[in-house]
């Protein structure tokens, strides 16, 4: 059976009285879903080795001024994705996403906040550095209007290992949220949920800022 990526229902512009933006990793769920996803593809041990190798490679490249990312962490991510996901059939990526969705540890207070915004008739947007190839599967059971995620390039039904968008973290995430508001606003009021320090640029754009701390 072929696994298709779920789609998100997007309401008409101006339909809701406000909008709430949620980070995902470390805000709606415990931990970082990227290594969890890669582990579903190649195994936990190989993921650990690939991550350590990506750190070393990124360090060497940045010393020569040739890092593939906009910063050191971005370079680690770019190298890791290329070395672990290049050539992966999209169907296999979706199957890994299905497996990952059953293993998430959700953070109940933030999930409850998301649902309360929905009940109040506000739009809900998830803005995350996680990958667009698996995020729709993880959000399938939550009412989310839009997803801002890190896009992966796909050619001939396979991942190339390269990004198709900017890495949706820190300043890039804030830029994406700003663009979303410009395209879908004005909003009567805005909320933001994220963790410190990576989501502070996004939170600075919004009326109500909630810093989530998961023990």
- 3-state SS of the chain? CCCCCCCCCCCCCCCCCCEEEECCECCCECCCHHHHHHHHHHCHHHHHHHHHHHHHHHHHHHHCCCCCCCCHHHHHHHHHHHHHHCCCEHHHHHHHHHHHHCCCCECHHHHHHHHHHHHCCCEEEEEEEEECCCHHHHCCCCCCCEEEEECEEEECCEEEEEECCCCCCHHHHHHHHHHHHHHHCCCCCEEEEECCCCCHHHHCCCCEEEECCCC
Instruction: Give the global pTM.
Output: 0.90
Residues 80-138 have pLDDT tens digits of 999 999 999 999 999 999 999 999 999 999 999 999 999 999 999 999 999 999 999 99
Q: Which CATH class is domain 19-211?
A: alpha beta
Arithmetic mean of pLDDT, 209-213: 97
Residues 24-71 have pLDDT tens digits of 999 999 999 999 999 999 999 999 999 999 999 888 776 677 666 668
């Amino acid at each position: 059976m072929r696994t298709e990526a779920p789609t998100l229902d997007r309401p008409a512009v101006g339909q809701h009285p406000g909008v709430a933006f949620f980070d995902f990793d470390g805000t709606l769920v415990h931990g970082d879903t990227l290594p969890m996803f890669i582990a579903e593809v190649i195994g936990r041990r190989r993921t650990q080795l690939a991550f350590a190798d990506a750190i070393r490679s990124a360090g060497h490249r940045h010393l020569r001024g040739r890092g593939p990312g906009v910063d050191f962490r971005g370079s680690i991510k770019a190298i890791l994705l290329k070395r672990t996901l290049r050539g992966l059939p999209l169907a296999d990526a979706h199957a890994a996403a299905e497996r990952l969705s059953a293993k998430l540890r959700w953070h109940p207070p933030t999930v409850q906040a998301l649902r309360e915004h929905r009940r109040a008739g506000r739009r809900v947007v998830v803005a995350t550095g996680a990958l667009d190839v698996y995020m729709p599967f993880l959000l399938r059971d939550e009412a989310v209007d839009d997803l801002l995620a890190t896009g992966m390039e796909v050619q001939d039904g396979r991942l190339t290992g390269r990004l198709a968008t900017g890495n949706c973290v820190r300043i890039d995430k804030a830029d994406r949220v700003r663009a979303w508001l410009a395209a879908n606003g004005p909003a009567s009021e805005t909320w933001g949920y994220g963790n410190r320090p990576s989501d502070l640029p996004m939170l600075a754009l919004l009326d109500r800022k909630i810093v989530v701390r998961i023990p």
